[in-house]
Amino acid sequence: MAGLIVLMGFVEKQHQELTCTNLDILIKYKSDDYFFVTNDINVFLKQKGYKIKGSTLSNIDAGEIENALYTNPYIEKADVCISIDGNVKIRITHKKPIAKVFNKYNKSFYIDEKGSLMPSSDNYTARLLVANGFINDFYNPYTKLNITGSISADSTIKKTSIYKVFKTAEFINKNDFWKAMIEEIFVNKNGEIELFTKTGDQTIIFGDINNMKEKFDNLYVFYKQILNKIGWKKYKTINLKYKNQIVCSKI
């Protein structure tokens, strides 16, 4: 037993004295919209002061590197491991953006599928559903819109325009038909949601985000049974605010 312990200690020491000869970075993208590639991660780590390739393993702290990677606002998950032959492997999951937001001050940022905010990038632009209008919120890395926790905190977040945008974008993103159809979410001065489609010039007055599925279901039936027959340019507005009703105004 003593000999085995000594041998294990010797092997560990030999392993720590190895030099990293290969840094393997694998990025998992959850959509075609992304904000970094492998070289960007290399640059990011260098800017954080990490020289991995060429360093001895004793000077490479996998946990510390993971923590550094999590400071990147576009990374959802990071895993760093060191193989027995001394290679360092980094596995990263990129966040999935679902909407680009322009607030009323014309400052932009993104919302991901889990309700986190992401800053705009100087190097990459994602082609996504756009949200704009009377949105007071700014980018904040600590904002979490997929709320859990106290009732009071949830109530406060639910009153914000950015929360309404997130819930609307979340619903649209999960439905292939609406994802292909709707291109813009607008928050009007009353804090209500209006939608604009890629076909036709109608304003869809959605109202609040209550009964969201019911409103979208009614709109879908209206499209299939009415607009497909009379034409997509017949109406100027389609109002979904009233329960079990669709009120339209002609052009």
Could you give the CA distance from residue 251 to residue 238 in angstroms, rounded to a whole number?
Answer: 11
C-alpha distances out from residue 42 to 51, 80, 88, 247, Å: 9, 14, 13, 55
* 86 neighbors 57 (Cβ within 8 angstroms): yes
Q: Could you tell me which residues are beta bridge partners of residue 237?
A: 203, 249
Read off the pTM.
0.86
Sheet holding 23-28, edge to edge: 23-28, 88-94, 75-82
Q: Could you tell me which residues are beta bridge partners of residue 194?
A: 186, 205
pLDDT score, position 147: 72
C-alpha distances out from residue 61 to 94, 153, 244, Å: 22, 37, 59
Domains annotated for the chain, with CATH where assigned, are 16-94 (3.10.20.310), 97-250 (3.40.50)
Could you give the CA distance from residue 232 to residue 219 in angstroms, rounded to a whole number?
Answer: 13
Ranges of the chain with pLDDT below 50? 4-13, 15, 150
Question: Model confidence over 162-209: pLDDT tens digits?
Answer: 999 999 999 999 999 999 999 999 999 999 999 999 876 789 999 999
Half-sphere exposure of 161 (CA within 13 A, CB side): 22
* 246 neighbors 218 (Cβ within 8 angstroms): yes
DSSP assignment, residue 227? Answer: I
* 93 neighbors 30 (Cβ within 8 angstroms): yes
C-alpha distances out from residue 106 to 78, 101, 118, 120, Å: 32, 9, 16, 12
DSSP element (H, E) containing 183: strand 182-187
pLDDT score, position 229: 67
* 240 neighbors 205 (Cβ within 8 angstroms): yes
* 162 neighbors 107 (Cβ within 8 angstroms): no
Question: Model confidence over 205-229: pLDDT tens digits?
Answer: 999 999 999 999 999 988 888 766 6
Could you give the CA distance from residue 90 to residue 67 in angstroms, rounded to a whole number?
Answer: 12
